[in-house]
Structure 1
Amino acid sequence: MKLIRLFTLFVLITIPSCFLGQVKKIGLPHIKNYSRSEYKGGTQNWNIDQDKNGNLYFGNNDGLLQFDGSTWNKYKAKNSNAIKSLKVDSTGKIYVGCYNEFGYFKANSKGKLEYFSIADLLDKKTINTIDFIWKIHLFKDEVIFQSFNRIFIYKNNKIKIINAPKRFQFSFISNSRLYIQDIFSGIMEYKNGKLVYINGTNSLNNTEVWGIIQLQKNTTLAATLDKGLFLLINNEVVPWNTEANTFIKKNGSLGCILYKNKYIVINTVLNGVIVCDLNGNIIQHINRSKGLQNNTVLSSFIDNSNNLWLGLDNGIAYVNENSFLTYFGFSYNLGTVYSSVVYKGYLYVATNQGVFYHPWNTDFKEGSFNLVEGTTAQAWNVQIISGELICASNKGALVIQDGKMIKNIDPKGYFAFKAIPRHSRFFIGANYNGFSVFEKTNSGMKFRNKIEGIDKSSNSFEIDNGYLWLKKDAYIYQITISDDLKKAKSIKIFSRFSEDNLGIGSLQKINSKIYFQSNNIFYTYSTTQSTFIENPALTHIFKTIPKIKELTQDTNGNLWYIFNESMGALMKTGSNKYKHVVAPLSNLTGNLVANYMSINTIDSKNTFIGLTDGLAHYDSTIENRSLSKPKVLIRSFSFPGDTIHLGNSQNINEEYKLPYASNQVKFTFSSPSYENLENLEFSYQLEGFEENWSAWSISSIKEYTNLKEGNYTMKVRARNSSGIESDETSIAFRIYPPWYRHSLAYLFYLLLVAVFVYYIRLRIKIKIRKNKHFETLEQRRLYLEKETKIRQEQYELEKEIEKLENEKLQIKILSKDKELVNNTLQVVKKNKILNGIIHKLKDINSNSFDEATKVQFTKLNRSITKEVHTDKSWKDLEKHLKNVHFDFLKKLKEKHPTISPREMDLSTYLLMNMSTKEIAEFMNISTGGVELARYRLRKKLELNKKENLIGYLMSIK
């Protein structure tokens, strides 16, 4: 038995690593830390798992944390905060273990995780003694919940309990076997519903086993908290005397997992995590000083992309183990790197703080770079020239040897140095204000002279065919140097290489020949034609490549280029044949040093790339590993009043129906592709609203407002940092129209229109009927109006005739009145004459007459007197005037009640247009009395001087 055990150990330790693959030993993988302020949970993270959708779950002191690559969510179990264990099954259930509680989270009909207690199946007394559930296992068709005192076996909605012989510690599944440690009784295996002791494991009693993994068929590794690592071989426990065991004994272990069946990841209490091979050789060590935010690693997990997640005592960390690139950053004392080179067994790096070095042939997993003494300043370049290591620095041209600066050849600041063709002993250096020539002598490099006539310089320059070519800003300078290398004979400036290709791109030497590039078109310079000539072969190579900014060729003939803020490479596979590599270098996007492309290829396994925060290492021999296509999820679909959580459910083929009031929708996306999340991009299209896909963007939220009714499909796709696009994910939904645009409403509108048309037609018929009736009535009315008008005109004519007749009669009356007045006046005159005769007769003495004469005289006198006294003409005239002018006199009396009869007579006479003399005779007054009477009448009528008396009297009539 002992011989078998020793043979097994020998085979295990001596397995060639080439059969196991490798985790890179040089540099550190990219580490992304998530602090509690980011995930908004507690400090400790005890367990990690992943569902089919790629969502990650963490058992945290403050609940269950879920991470989809974009958003952190937190969920609480029943009556408990801290979740010490979790496990996700194939249906999406997330089983969790807490204090005196265990159960599972499951997505409800709207995709939101809801908690369901399994512990509620127990009686209350048992529940109160559960304690913490530390481990959960999906074993065959059972779910095993393990606490320190019991294991609870859940199956078919029933719980079976197995009590600990003494006190359980932890349990583990390895190679389809379930192991449980009783801290006082040894390690047992759960078989057929029972616990079976494993012989020979009592030596692990009184220590805590935190991890068990199977290395080979009969060989199992156990990691303990404080006693190191042990192998269980054929019921024997032996220490695993390896480099890893020595490390764990010193720092303690909190568990281990198997990585790709080739490596072991071991969590430690004091010093982060180590990755070792199956021989126990430590390949990587990641701790706080190397980028981890906490040195106590409580849990570790390998996700579906073979990357490592660590649950820390304070925080969560993501370790990109599945990358082509590793890094030397701040933990190695490196800042911004501008150049690197291997020289005499050391890797030298030019940085913004000086030149640093590290032994090349020793292990890179520990130790940092050391500063070369005397180089503390901005170092632009470090290169080997004629066997010497020369640094182009802000301090000058520095010679470095054995980790020290031994000589400063020229104190001017320099960018770089180049050999001068056909002048093997001379080199040219670009300093801050021109160029200088250096000479190789037996005692080393020496400053020879400054090249006169040149006051411009940069780090981009080349020398060939007697010309010094300099790229400065947007121009190319062609400088002809004298044969003695002491002055510039001529300088030409170019702003373009051809008439139809504007601008200057890059200047580079490829296969010892200078090429000029603009817009991915390459040129060479013809000295015989003094012009730039396009190179079709090189142009064709870069035809499908994005517009490049910089280009350089490494020592293996590979072409490295910069586009935007990313890097790509054309790996040489033969004469003028290249393999295009972009995806493996995509993680460098945004970290490259602008205008200082630093590529140092030592061999096919070792290429160093300068970054703004250190140095990257690239191994081209493993760049052919498969790159998986990312997955994209529509994480949530929100609208007023509700949110559908799609990232938790397995099926999103349902079509969602929204009322018109919910026509404002919001989508969140995620892609559980956790590598280089900063460069993860999304593109989306709302079919039915947008005709084209949106531009790629890092935004994982999209909102639409005021959508019209109709059918829509939201389509989303993701593109990871390697430029690989996911398949599109979609969700269909329908927005119903508002009630007034519903199909039933349109039917109602149609009926309403029909009724309205019918009503209009009916109204038109009635209107026509009425119009005909009204037309008849109107015709009749017009006839009657016409008849009435004729009658009115006839009546008015009759009235006019009557008026004319009245006027004629009035004129006739006035004429008669005038005539009567005249006759009356004649009578008056006659009477007056007769009265005169009477008076004269009285004067005659009748006594002298005879009786007959006297009788005749008396008879004559009596006759005349009778004639005078019997004449009533005046009275008849007066009566006549009053009768004729009755209306006038009435109106005059009404208007002027105080007028006297005498004044009314005067008014009548004036109205009759009688003269003053006639009025005087009628009234038996003098003409002056008439004037006085007129004056009094005007005063009585209240007339002013300007008003005409007769006109006024006429107006009353």
Structure 2
Amino acid sequence: LLDEEGSLIFKVDQSGGLQNNTVLSVCEDMDGTLWLGLDNGISFLNLNSPYRIYQDLSGLTGSVYAIQSFDDILYLGTNQGLFYKNPSSESGFTMIPGTEGQVWTLEVFNGTLFCGHHEGTFQIENKKARKIAGIPGTWKISKIPDRSDLLMQGNYGGLNILEFNQGEWGLRNSLENFDHSSRFFEIRNYEIFVNHEYKGLFRIKVDKDFREAQAIEVDTVHRGVNSGLVKYRDDILFAYKEGIFKFDASKKGFEKDTLLSEIFDEGQYVSGRLITDNLGENLWVFTEKNISYVTRGNLDNRNVIRTIPLTEIERRGIRGYESIYGPGDNGDYFIGTSNGYVRLNTEMISEGKFEIRLGEISVSDRSENNVNNFIIDPRDEGEFRNKENNLQIHYYSPEYKALVKPQYQYQLQGMYDDWSDWTENTSVTYSNLPHGSYTFSVRGRAGNSESLNTASYSFSIARPWYLTGLAFMSYFLLAVVGSVLIHRTYRRYYRGHQQALIEENKREMALAKARNDKEIIKLKNKQLKKKFKNKNNELAASTLSIIRKNELLSKVKEQLLSSEDDGTTSVKQIVKIIDKSINRNDDWEMFMKAFNHADQKFLKKLKKAHPNLSPNDIKLCAYLRLNLSSKEIAPLLNISPRSVEIKRYRLRKKMNLTHDSNLTDYILTL
């Protein structure tokens, strides 16, 4: 590419990103983009882009960790070593011998270029490296205020001091009493702040000659992976996932800076790496979606945050080890990537103007297991049948940038009133939309620029046949006919139900009467049992009374007969009176009356079964019916128990009972 005077501006070939080196046609569009027709494809060059990308497709240089421009030479510190090239030359990068391996930092102090390396610290002169300190792992090199002859470097194992002595730089001493890895450190008033990702923030007080750590304080609250520490405008700033914090000397601690912490809002934090440019004017911060930098306002010195729409994916950085150098001689910044660098011209960053346009609209009819697709123009009216309720709407932006991809946000009024999240998709699908009227709207943004317009498309989906006016009229007629049929059916049902209730009530009344009759019978039986029990009790009491009376009289009789005067007339008269009392029929009649009340059927059954029994036999049977023993029966009959046994024997013979049959059991069973 040549300028107006014919001088070469830059050259692009296959090694720089073209698909091949055969360019058959060239076309510049209205935005200044140069389109190249190749023999096997199309490539383009965005001449107005603020970005210039250098990619090492061969993998020679590796991932870039540090960039520095010194004596018109561009230096890259990578994981492969230290490389250099002349920016105006078309040749590639060349490695400086002796620097093979990981390079962590490149710094320029007092006209000298220093290289912090895994193997130690190198001084670069005339494209050659000379090791000046062999302590492994030099993370960072920094000036010591008010000491132009001293530099401090942070290493894997602590802090070390470089000294300029007799025209050469060399290692003077290691800081005693501190041996922690010091990737990030800052110096202020004989205090050193060191950030360790896992152990926290160290605040170290040193002697005036920077030889010994005299006091160490550790803040373990503020720490985190990929955290960073930097000095910006005399403020010590610390950044990690919770925000950006500023050291407050009055409180002797870090306080959150609400303005700067806005950079990490909306979950954009990926790294707390903070970098100041070589002029100390801008503070650079890397987030997921942007590169942000803090600068002074145009009217005052207050901090102002500006963003550059370069995402983490597009810049291909190394998380936690981001690098940026600038501004260079022409105001450009160099941003290290995993396979090269991006050259950024902040003056060319502008808010582009672009529009959003609707593409084709695909409509699907999925009725009856058949899928019928057709495409319509968004300028046509959108009136679809009810089954044509599956739409895919395409939209796009004519703005094309390699590193800034447009994003879209859409809304479907009538279904979803809220706008969607931002997305890079250029189409959206709506399935099974209900009937109704809809308006689809889409808007876009590219980087920090928003689209000039919001594209819209209105359409409607017809009601299904069962929701049309004719369908509702049919529903009304069916409802009327159904109401009549239901009324008649209900009347028949009610009558049948009423008759069933009457029959059920009759059955219930009959069952209730039967239950009542049963209860009455049960009560009568209970009363009869109670009456029978009372009669038995009376009979038992009467029998017991007769037995006791006769026993008493028998004892009196025995006493009289055994007395000395038993032959006198008076004694004999008394004995006769006693015999008469024992043999009185009144007792027997009273007993039989009670016995008949208690057991009315027994005597009838007995006389029917054995009509030849005498009255005395019947009397004995009655006593046996009461289950009385021979001893208890003897007083009642005024005979001895032996005589009772004889009567029992004779009774058995009259009843023709067998030898094995028990007389009492037989009588009890009648």
Q: Per the shorter chain, which TM-score range?
A: 0.5 to 0.7
The answer as to 2:123 corresponding to 1:396 is no
Q: RMSD of aligned C-alpha atoms? A: 3.8
Determine the structure 1 residue equivalent to 2:84: 357
2:301 to 576, 580, 585: 576
Compared with structure 1, are the counterparts of its residues 645 and 570 closer, same or farther at alpha carbon in structure 2 (3 Å cutoff)? farther
Aligned length: 494
Determine the structure 2 residue equivalent to 1:339: 66
Aligned-pair distance for 1:496?
4.0
Determine the structure 2 residue equivalent to 1:514: 236
Determine the structure 1 residue equivalent to 2:422: 696
512-521 or 426-435, which moves further after superposition?
A: 512-521
| 8 Å CA contact 2:289, 2:312 repeated in 1 | no
| 8 Å CA contact 1:434, 1:454 repeated in 2 | yes
1:315 to 41, 46, 53: 41
- 2-structure distance, mates of 1:382, 1:284: 26
Determine the structure 2 residue equivalent to 1:717: 443
683-692 or 392-401, which moves further after superposition?
A: 683-692
Aligned-pair distance for 1:684?
2.5
- 2-structure distance, mates of 1:504, 1:326: 27
Determine the structure 1 residue equivalent to 2:386: 659
Secondary structure in 1 aligned to 2:37? Answer: strand
Aligned-pair distance for 1:460?
2.1
Aligned-pair distance for 1:484?
4.6
Compared with structure 1, are the counterparts of its residues 721 and 620 closer, same or farther at alpha carbon in structure 2 (3 Å cutoff)? closer
Secondary structure in 2 aligned to 1:757? Answer: helix
Amino acid at match of 2:71: K
The answer as to 2:187 corresponding to 1:463 is yes
2:410 to 661, 684, 687: 684
2:321 to 588, 592, 596: 596
Compared with structure 1, are the counterparts of its residues 690 and 503 closer, same or farther at alpha carbon in structure 2 (3 Å cutoff)? farther
Secondary structure in 2 aligned to 1:469? Answer: strand
Determine the structure 2 residue equivalent to 1:555: 278
1:296 to 15, 22, 25: 22
- 2-structure distance, mates of 1:653, 1:777: 69
- 2-structure distance, mates of 1:574, 1:303: 38
Aligned residue runs from structure 1 range 50-65, under 5 A = none
Aligned residue runs from structure 1 range 25-64, under 5 A = none
Determine the structure 2 residue equivalent to 1:730: 456
Determine the structure 2 residue equivalent to 1:629: 354
| 8 Å CA contact 2:228, 2:238 repeated in 1 | yes
| 8 Å CA contact 2:132, 2:170 repeated in 1 | no
Compared with structure 1, are the counterparts of its residues 531 and 776 closer, same or farther at alpha carbon in structure 2 (3 Å cutoff)? closer
Secondary structure in 2 aligned to 1:637? Answer: strand
Aligned residue runs from structure 1 range 748-897, under 5 A = 748-761=474-487, 767=492, 771=495
Normalised to the residue count of structure 1, the TM-score between the two structures is 0.47
Determine the structure 2 residue equivalent to 1:205: none
Compared with structure 1, are the counterparts of its residues 287 and 428 closer, same or farther at alpha carbon in structure 2 (3 Å cutoff)? same
Compared with structure 1, are the counterparts of its residues 387 and 503 closer, same or farther at alpha carbon in structure 2 (3 Å cutoff)? closer
Compared with structure 1, are the counterparts of its residues 776 and 713 closer, same or farther at alpha carbon in structure 2 (3 Å cutoff)? closer
Secondary structure in 1 aligned to 2:10? Answer: strand
Determine the structure 1 residue equivalent to 2:620: none
| 8 Å CA contact 1:381, 1:391 repeated in 2 | yes
Aligned-pair distance for 1:521?
5.1
Determine the structure 1 residue equivalent to 2:585: none
- 2-structure distance, mates of 1:296, 1:777: 102
Per-residue CA distance 1:622-642 (angstroms, 9 max, x = gap): 33x451235243444342444
Aligned-pair distance for 1:510?
1.0
Per-residue CA distance 1:650-669 (angstroms, 9 max, x = gap): x5352241333x43433444
Compared with structure 1, are the counterparts of its residues 710 and 458 closer, same or farther at alpha carbon in structure 2 (3 Å cutoff)? farther
Aligned-pair distance for 1:507?
1.9
Amino acid at match of 1:523: K
| 8 Å CA contact 1:298, 1:310 repeated in 2 | yes
Determine the structure 2 residue equivalent to 1:374: 98
Aligned-pair distance for 1:592?
2.7
Amino acid at match of 2:415: F
- 2-structure distance, mates of 1:725, 1:459: 43
The answer as to 2:9 corresponding to 1:283 is yes
Amino acid at match of 2:210: L
1:524 to 247, 267, 292: 247
Aligned residue runs from structure 1 range 169-318, under 5 A = 275-318=1-44
- 1-structure distance, mates of 2:309, 2:501: 98
Amino acid at match of 1:551: L
- 1-structure distance, mates of 2:446, 2:148: 48
- 2-structure distance, mates of 1:776, 1:685: 65
Determine the structure 1 residue equivalent to 2:539: none
Compared with structure 1, are the counterparts of its residues 613 and 737 closer, same or farther at alpha carbon in structure 2 (3 Å cutoff)? same
Amino acid at match of 1:507: L
5+ residue gaps, structure 2, are 366-370, 511-670
Determine the structure 2 residue equivalent to 1:952: none
Per-residue CA distance 1:562-588 (angstroms, 9 max, x = gap): 122530223444641566542465698
Amino acid at match of 2:82: V
Per-residue CA distance 1:32-59 (angstroms, 9 max, x = gap): xxxxxxxxxxxxxxxxxxxxxxxxxxxx
Secondary structure in 1 aligned to 2:9? Answer: strand
Amino acid at match of 1:335: G
Secondary structure in 2 aligned to 1:747? Answer: helix
Aligned-pair distance for 1:476?
1.8
Normalised to the residue count of structure 2, the TM-score between the two structures is 0.65
2:167 to 443, 455, 466: 443
| 8 Å CA contact 2:356, 2:395 repeated in 1 | no
Per-residue CA distance 1:267-295 (angstroms, 9 max, x = gap): xxxxxxxx323333332321112111111
| 8 Å CA contact 2:409, 2:422 repeated in 1 | yes
- 1-structure distance, mates of 2:362, 2:264: 38
- 2-structure distance, mates of 1:405, 1:677: 36
Per-residue CA distance 1:894-930 (angstroms, 9 max, x = gap): xxxxxxxxxxxxxxxxxxxxxxxxxxxxxxxxxxxxx
- 1-structure distance, mates of 2:237, 2:221: 14
Secondary structure in 1 aligned to 2:11? Answer: strand
Amino acid at match of 1:488: A
Secondary structure in 2 aligned to 1:593? Answer: coil
- 1-structure distance, mates of 2:247, 2:358: 50
- 1-structure distance, mates of 2:225, 2:81: 35
| 8 Å CA contact 1:389, 1:400 repeated in 2 | yes
Aligned-pair distance for 1:354?
1.4
Aligned-pair distance for 1:763?
5.2
- 2-structure distance, mates of 1:583, 1:329: 20
Compared with structure 1, are the counterparts of its residues 479 and 579 closer, same or farther at alpha carbon in structure 2 (3 Å cutoff)? closer
Aligned residue runs from structure 1 range 145-156, under 5 A = none
Amino acid at match of 2:47: E
Determine the structure 2 residue equivalent to 1:327: 53
Determine the structure 1 residue equivalent to 2:75: 348
- 2-structure distance, mates of 1:777, 1:409: 113
| 8 Å CA contact 2:205, 2:215 repeated in 1 | yes
Compared with structure 1, are the counterparts of its residues 777 and 482 closer, same or farther at alpha carbon in structure 2 (3 Å cutoff)? closer
| 8 Å CA contact 1:329, 1:335 repeated in 2 | no
- 2-structure distance, mates of 1:677, 1:730: 28
Aligned-pair distance for 1:752?
1.4
